[in-house]
Structure 1
């Protein structure tokens, strides 16, 4: 049975086509069997593979192996278009930034790449504090420098590309760019503003991290105000306590645990 897919998907620049292109640049591969090419991509998050299939109107099956979900396509028209952007076989170490993406669609490509090879997390900082960070990883130093430049054009500080060599521990080598605090918030705002396709897990993780950070600041602010309680109106204090209570309810699955101070 011939599988159906929107073979014109990459012919027009849209949010969806730019996003999928970014995801393929991160977690996709181009392979050749005799004279036939195939593009495949995978993820541990089945929902994003399903979303990509859906926006491409693809009937190609999604297969599962040891917790990883994969699909792909082999339509010559689509393969030709992707190769015109710069997709190559065995791209991990040698890929370059795709050519021809209009500036207004760059953030969607970046989000697609981020969902494949990006992350949000916390790390220990000075004085026992933590800071919110984000980053991208790639095996290609050239692509890393190009991506860093594009993200800078989107409003973030220019991130230095770091070469990480962990071959002694069997983890290979790669390049990464990292963004801290405010630039992580900027990056998320740029990627997710009015977005309709993204990996739910990563967006939710960012929201949880940023919400927790806001809660920590609110608690610290509340402590200062409580020390100076007589100088602050009781109405304002009640409002602040309500904000912190809501924060705790969100963190604790609906159970508020605000303690009167």
Structure 2
């Protein structure tokens, strides 16, 4: 249930006018598993244009529980609060939210979450930091993103969210690297800190950003954290000018 709640906060919705809640997801099987866990035999519907499957559940009890116990509203994407989840179930809740609104990047050592509620994302950041994860929160327009990176960090995150797993999205589970390795044997990358090495990384970052227009892809390519990127932006005038010049192009 903790997983389903996290998944619902990411990919679910509540009807304003009817006693209905629903889930939307491209992977059909995960909605079938959620439906079975909730004891429903409701058929799934597919949007033929987008390929997204929909699971609608007509339940006044579920709708009231989500709204009154967990504080979920029809406008949840912007105002959702982080619900109370007992510590023993927190990894399942965050795995559910990750399966809906999280991502692991192709090279395997960068994980992100996205949300529209600053309150929710700030508490998520707090919980992950309390587990010892080094995370960075960024806000751009209406979207808040949270990132963590590093080979050892990502393996430790994997070990935590998939511990005693029940429901999970296979696509994201399979994207994690180092599944059979002990996190204690891994190390996050240690980069050379000479002036020449740092200058080379800054140049590589600018070159990658010029191609992809994606800060997160540039960080991943160069092997730096978002914290390093923000420090460069704040402390290096030349780097800052080159970066913002690209944004204007």
TM-score by length of 1: 0.64
Bigger-Rg structure (1/2):
1
Match for residue 185 of structure 1 among 155, 166, 186: 155
Q: Which runs of 5 or more structure 1 residues have no equivalent in the other structure?
A: 1-16, 124-130, 166-172, 215-261
CA distance in 2, matches of 1:98, 1:73: 21
Query: Which residue does 1:87 correspond to in 2?
Result: 72
Once the two structures are TM-superposed, the CA of residue 41 in structure 1 deviates from its matched residue by 1.0
Query: Which residue does 2:110 correspond to in 1?
Result: 133
- Dislocated runs of 4+, deviation >3 Å: 209-214
- Post-superposition Cα deviations, 1:214-257, rounded to whole Å, max 9, x if no partner, equal 9xxxxxxxxxxxxxxxxxxxxxxxxxxxxxxxxxxxxxxxxxxx
CA distance in 2, matches of 1:70, 1:164: 29
CA distance in 2, matches of 1:144, 1:211: 27
Kindly tell me the number of residue pairs found equivalent between the two proteins: 179
CA distance in 1, matches of 2:180, 2:163: 20
Query: Which residue does 2:172 correspond to in 1?
Result: 202
CA distance in 2, matches of 1:191, 1:85: 21
CA distance in 2, matches of 1:109, 1:153: 16
Does the 8 Å contact 1:132/1:210 carry over to 2? no
Once the two structures are TM-superposed, the CA of residue 55 in structure 1 deviates from its matched residue by 1.2
Q: Within 5 Å, which residues of 2 pair with 1:63-102?
A: 63-65=45-47, 66-83=50-67, 84-99=69-84, 101-102=85-86
Query: Which residue does 1:42 correspond to in 2?
Result: 24
Match for residue 55 of structure 1 among 33, 37, 42: 37
Does the 8 Å contact 2:102/2:113 carry over to 1? yes
Does the 8 Å contact 1:44/1:67 carry over to 2? yes
Query: Is 1:175 paired with 2:144?
Result: yes
CA distance in 2, matches of 1:18, 1:196: 10
CA distance in 2, matches of 1:163, 1:212: 35
Does the 8 Å contact 2:20/2:57 carry over to 1? yes
Classify 1:196/1:213 alpha carbon distance in 2 versus 1 (closer, same or farther; 3 Å). closer
SS at 1:160's partner residue?
Answer: strand
Does the 8 Å contact 2:6/2:95 carry over to 1? yes
CA distance in 1, matches of 2:60, 2:22: 14
Once the two structures are TM-superposed, the CA of residue 46 in structure 1 deviates from its matched residue by 1.0
Once the two structures are TM-superposed, the CA of residue 213 in structure 1 deviates from its matched residue by 10
- Post-superposition Cα deviations, 1:141-171, rounded to whole Å, max 9, x if no partner, equal 11110111112223322x2210134xxxxxx
Does the 8 Å contact 2:104/2:175 carry over to 1? yes
Classify 1:116/1:193 alpha carbon distance in 2 versus 1 (closer, same or farther; 3 Å). same
TM-score by length of 2: 0.67
SS at 2:157's partner residue?
Answer: helix
Match for residue 15 of structure 2 among 22, 25, 31: 31
Q: Which runs of 5 or more structure 2 residues have no equivalent in the other structure?
A: 183-249
